[in-house]
């Protein structure tokens, strides 16, 4: 994987050799030369003098902010570093969704010497929210729409393209995509790469040859359905969900046979128990989640049929309990006055049997959600010392602004603590599990309700956090946003927006719009925070080298000390970063770190979608908070791969 190239000026004036000479362009198109040239010139030029104020400012947090569940973190067999094969074969690297790698060649002691090894462009300028996969000596990447699958040969200089798979797609799918034409990644199992397309196809491709094994369409763009999430393969089944909560789509999780593509089961997020796959084995911990056909009776008549609850986020799996965990999206429409009731089973979490899809338990993060707090974020499965015993825990940084620690066997909430400024609720009653919304922040028709915190994207949206068993800390990339919200009447027409709200977002307390927070789930408090100018919309990566990687929307890819939050290294990319970093061992035995740039997604639509900066309600209100983003980034779509010299 050795390449050669020109020297560029590095951090603090040091000379750093950039090994980008072997870069290859994808067949879809070519990245604009000026943009890539800017990236090369700026590569490694860390403006350490600018690391203050709103951009990259680090703060230690008080040591006595909240009482601890127990006094120490102890590694357990589940949390301890696992055998590291150097690959990255599923979206979160493991079923527990830790995004932790046991590789340690790149460490907090030497990460400052990272150099650019090579780059690759997929020629696509929509938002790049995905994570590459590395299987053996091949790196795989699914582009944003039209969702082409690239295979790069890591045994050759510059990692040239081995093959490209181009699925036939419906161009009209672009017109019903809520928040850019993104794709959040693929999964590998049994010699095949599995991924979704925006127009609702699930595809299986031979990992060695790129030949299509099967391709199945399981949704309908004419109803407003799309698919953006990354699949997970569990026990021979490919688990996938749909998007379209702002189009009146009825959410579902579907399991397909990995060998044939045939649908094994489908569990809806609304409707009668038979559709939701609720039967005699369903035992929710809290009384409010028990009862017959709550997916119908907690809605006005017929409203559940266009009620949302889409499944576009992350899935985790516990092999010991044999349960998959995933969240459901917001109810529709956003106007809460049109749907009185708890609106089951939206904005919550299910535990299901992967063989049959039957529900085992459910918990609702935000009953009768009134702020678009989708419940689709990742669920980390950790064994934690709580109350003098080791608990099989599920840890979740939720959109409503709270870090939840739950018993993943039963669905009991053990703690729920705010990790951002919250005005939309008063917290969670741990005795009953009840979320306690603040009545005065509920949107109303004809009234603008101001300063609702967090805003509709939540304290944290889909952008996945990481966990290190070495520090016992979660690394949460998230937002610092509030909003003004007016409910309006919405009318359902299949395949068209079904929102019913005028929203304008703005920065939260402090004026910065994003943070990376290191959170101790046992002591229930932050260890440190880094404040960023824009929402931290990238994923996080933690390694056994005690380094945490993440990216920013103003084009920095950063490495920080996992224990202290000290910024150890940074690199300026051509475009803002909203993707997910990974690390892998190359065929040459070296450790590499990879990240795609390519600003976009919901917060970056003002750039990727060329939206007007004059309309603060554009992009469902996100444009109001991101008016200055075009001053800090261009469109992009380049993979950067780094290594030590």
As a 3-state breakdown, the chain gives helix, strand, coil percent values, each rounded to 5, of: 10, 35, 55
Q: Is the pLDDT of residue 22 over 50?
A: no
* Count of CA atoms in the C-beta half-sphere (13 A) of 371: 36
Tokens 């400052």 sit at which residue?
112
pLDDT at 269: 98
pLDDT at position 84, please? 87
| Cα-trace Rg, the chain | 23
Cα distance from N-terminal residue to C-terminal residue, the chain: 12
Please name the residues in contact with 621: beta carbons below 8 A apart, sequence gap of 6 or more. 455, 456, 483, 502, 503, 504, 505
CA atoms lying within 13 Å on the CB side of residue 227: 28
CATH 1.10.760.10 is held by the domain 7-643: no
d(CA 1, CA 6): 17
State residue 7's pLDDT score: 29
Higher pLDDT, 24 or 337: 337
Q: Is 12 helix (H, G, I), strand (E, B) or coil?
A: helix
Q: What are the residue numbers of the active site?
A: 246, 330, 372
Cα 35 from Cα 43, distance rounded (Å): 12
- Which residue matches tokens 């304008």? 504
Give the residue-averaged pLDDT of 297-312.
98
Do 375 and 349 meet the contact criterion of CB atoms below 8 Å apart? yes
Residue 548's nearest CA partner among 573, 575, 574, 530 is 530
Sequential DSSP letters for 45-111: ---GGG-STTSSEEEE--TTSS--SSS-----TTTSPPP--S-B-STTSSTT---EE---SS-TTTG
- Mean pLDDT, the chain, as a whole number? 90
Q: Which two tokens stand for residue 199?
A: 């127009």
- Spell out the SS3 assignment of 235-268: CCEEEEECECHHHCCECEEEEEECCCCCEEEEEE
Q: How confident is the model at residue 429 (pLDDT cuts 50, 70, 90)?
A: very high
Alpha helices in 250-371 (DSSP H): 273-276, 294-297
438-481 residue pLDDT tens = 999 999 999 999 999 999 999 999 999 999 999 999 999 999 99
- In whole angstroms, give the CA distance from residue 364 to residue 345: 7
pLDDT at position 56, please?
A: 60
Q: How many CA atoms lie within 13 A of 308 on its CB side?
A: 32
pLDDT grade for 295, boundaries at 50, 70 and 90: very high
pLDDT at 61: 45
Going by pLDDT thresholds of 50, 70 and 90, the confidence category of residue 35 is: very low
- Mean pLDDT confidence for 262-285: 98
Are 20 and 3 within 8 A, CB to CB? yes
Query: Rounded mean pLDDT of 93-101?
Result: 98
Q: How far is CA 273 from the centre of its chain?
A: 29
pLDDT band at 59 (very low <50, low <70, confident <90, very high): low
pLDDT band of residue 201 (cuts 50, 70, 90) is: very high
Q: How is residue 331 annotated by DSSP?
A: B
**Unique residue bearing structure tokens 């150097």:** 86
3 state DSSP class of 35: helix
Q: What is the pLDDT of residues 610-644, one digit of tens each?
A: 999 899 999 999 999 999 999 999 999 999 999 99
Q: For residue 46, what are its two tokens?
A: 């860390």
Cβ-contact 59, 526 below 8 angstroms: no
CB 252 within 8 A of CB 266: yes
Report whether 227 contacts 243 (CB < 8 A): yes
For tokens 């010392």, name the residue.
Answer: 385
Backbone angles phi, psi at 413, to 5 degrees: -85, 120
Q: Which of 374, 407, 380, 375 is nearest to 393 (CA)?
A: 407
User: What is the pLDDT confidence band of residue 163, given thresholds at 50, 70 and 90?
Assistant: very high
| Spatial contact of 600 and 86, defined as CB atoms under 8 Å apart | no
Q: The dihedral of CA 587, 591, 597, 600: what is its sign?
A: positive
**pLDDT grade, residue 70 (50/70/90)?**
very low
Cβ atoms of residues 486 and 447 within 8 Å: yes
Fill in the DSSP letter of residue 597: -
Determine contact, residues 290/284, Cβ cutoff 8 Å.
yes
Nearest to 640 by CA among 146, 132, 101, 183: 132
Task: Give the whole-angstrom CA distance, residue 369 versus residue 400.
Answer: 10
Question: How do residues 490-526 score in pLDDT, each as one tens digit?
Answer: 999 999 999 999 999 999 999 999 999 999 999 999 9
Token couple for 563: 């224990």
Structure tokens at 29: 């198109």
Q: What is the pLDDT of residue 26?
A: 36
Which residues touch 353 (CB under 8 Å, ≥6 apart)? 281, 322, 323, 324, 360
**Pick from 75-89, 278-292, 526-540, 553-567: least confident:** 75-89
For residues 110-120, give the mean pLDDT.
98
pLDDT at residue number 64: 29
Is the Cβ–Cβ distance between 54 and 512 less than 8 Å? yes
Question: Rounded to an integer, what distance in angstroms lies between the CA atom of residue 557 and that of residue 602?
Answer: 20
pLDDT greater than 50 at residue 154: yes
pLDDT tens readout for residues 560-592: 999 999 999 999 999 999 999 999 999 999 999
Q: Would you give the DSSP letter of residue 27?
A: T
pLDDT of residue 29: 32
Q: Which of 353, 380, 377 is nearest to 366 (CA)?
A: 377
Q: How far apart (Å, rounded) are the C-alpha atoms in residues 385 and 405? A: 11
Query: Is a pLDDT exceeding 90 seen at residue 12?
Result: no
Rounded to 5 degrees, φ, ψ at 35 are -65, -45
Nearest to 9 by CA among 1, 18, 21: 18
**CA 327 to mean position of chain CA atoms:** 12
What local confidence, expressed as pLDDT, does residue 523 receive?
A: 97
**Residue 57 clears pLDDT 50, i.e. is over it:** yes
* Average pLDDT, integer, range 208-224: 98
What is residue 60's predicted lDDT score, i.e. its pLDDT? 53
Altogether, the residues listed in the chain come to a count of 645
CA distance 600 to 55: 20
- Rounded distance between C-alpha atoms, residue 498 and residue 475, angstroms: 34
pLDDT score of 65 more than 90: no
Determine contact, residues 571/642, Cβ cutoff 8 Å.
yes
Residue 581's alpha-carbon distances to 92, 333, 594, 640, in angstroms, are 10, 34, 6, 10
């Amino acid at each position: 994987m050795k390449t050669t190239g020109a020297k560029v000026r590095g951090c603090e004036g040091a000379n750093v050799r950039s090994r980008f000479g072997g870069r290859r362009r994808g067949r879809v198109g070519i990245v604009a030369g000026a943009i890539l040239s800017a990236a090369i010139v700026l590569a490694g030029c860390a403006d350490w003098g600018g690391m203050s104020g709103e951009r990259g400012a680090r703060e230690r947090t008080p040591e006595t902010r909240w009482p601890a569940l127990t006094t120490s973190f102890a590694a357990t067999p589940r949390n301890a570093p696992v055998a590291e094969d150097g690959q990255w074969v599923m979206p979160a690297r493991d079923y527990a969704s830790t995004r932790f790698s046991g590789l340690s060649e790149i460490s907090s002691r030497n990460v400052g010497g990272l150099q650019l090894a090579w780059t690759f462009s997929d020629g696509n300028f929509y938002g790049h929210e995905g994570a590459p996969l590395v299987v053996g000596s091949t790196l795989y990447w699914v582009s944003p729409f039209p969702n082409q699958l690239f295979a790069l040969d890591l045994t050759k200089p510059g990692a040239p393209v081995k093959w490209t798979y181009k699925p036939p797609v419906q161009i009209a799918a672009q017109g019903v995509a809520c928040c850019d034409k993104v794709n959040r990644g693929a999964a590998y199992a049994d010699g095949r790469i599995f991924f979704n397309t925006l127009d609702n196809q699930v595809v299986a491709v031979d990992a060695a040859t790129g030949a299509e094994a099967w391709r199945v369409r399981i949704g309908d763009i004419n109803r407003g359905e799309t698919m953006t999430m990354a699949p997970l393969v569990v026990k021979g089944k490919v688990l996938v969900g749909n998007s379209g909560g702002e189009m009146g789509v009825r959410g579902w999780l579907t399991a397909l046979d990995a060998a044939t593509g045939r649908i094994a089961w489908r569990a809806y997020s609304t409707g009668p128990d038979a559709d939701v796959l609720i039967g005699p084995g369903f035992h929710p911990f809290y009384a409010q989640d028990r009862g017959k056909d709550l997916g119908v009776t907690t809605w006005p008549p017929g409203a559940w049929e266009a009620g949302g609850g889409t499944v576009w986020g992350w899935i985790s799996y516990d092999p010991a309990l044999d349960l998959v965990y995933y969240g459901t999206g917001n109810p529709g429409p956003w106007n809460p006055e049109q749907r009185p009731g708890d609106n089951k089973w939206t904005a919550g979490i299910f535990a299901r049997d992967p063989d049959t899809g039957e529900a085992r338990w459910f918990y609702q993060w935000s009953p009768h959600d009134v702020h678009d707090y989708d419940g689709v974020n990742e669920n980390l499965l950790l064994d934690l010392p709580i109350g003098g015993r080791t608990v099989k825990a599920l840890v979740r940084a939720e959109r409503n602004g709270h870090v939840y620690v739950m018993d993943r066997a039963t669905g009991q909430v053990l703690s729920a603590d705010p990790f951002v400024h919250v005005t939309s609720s008063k917290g969670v009653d741990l005795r009953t599990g009840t979320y306690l919304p603040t009545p005065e922040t509920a949107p109303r028709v004809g009234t603008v309700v101001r300063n609702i915190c967090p805003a509709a994207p939540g304290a944290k949206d889909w952008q996945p956090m990481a966990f290190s068993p070495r520090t016992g800390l979660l690394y949460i990339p998230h937002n610092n946003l509030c909003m003004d919200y007016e409910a309006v009447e919405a009318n359902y027409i299949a395949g068209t927006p079904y929102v019913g709200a005028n929203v304008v977002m703005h920065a939260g307390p402090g004026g910065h719009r994003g943070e990376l927070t290191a959170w101790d789930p046992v002591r229930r408090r932050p260890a440190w925070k880094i404040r960023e100018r824009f929402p931290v919309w990238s994923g996080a990566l933690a390694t056994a080298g005690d380094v945490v990687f993440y990216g920013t929307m103003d084009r920095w890819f950063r490495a920080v000390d996992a224990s202290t939050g000290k910024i150890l290294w940074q690199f300026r990319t051509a475009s803002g970063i909203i993707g997910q970093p990974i690390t892998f061992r190359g065929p040459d035995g070296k450790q590499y770190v990879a990240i795609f740039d390519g600003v976009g997604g919901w917060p970056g639509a003002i750039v990727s979608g060329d939206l007007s900066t004059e309309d603060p309600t554009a992009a469902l209100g996100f444009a109001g908070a991101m008016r200055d983003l075009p001053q800090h980034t261009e469109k992009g779509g380049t993979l950067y791969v780094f290594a030590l010299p």
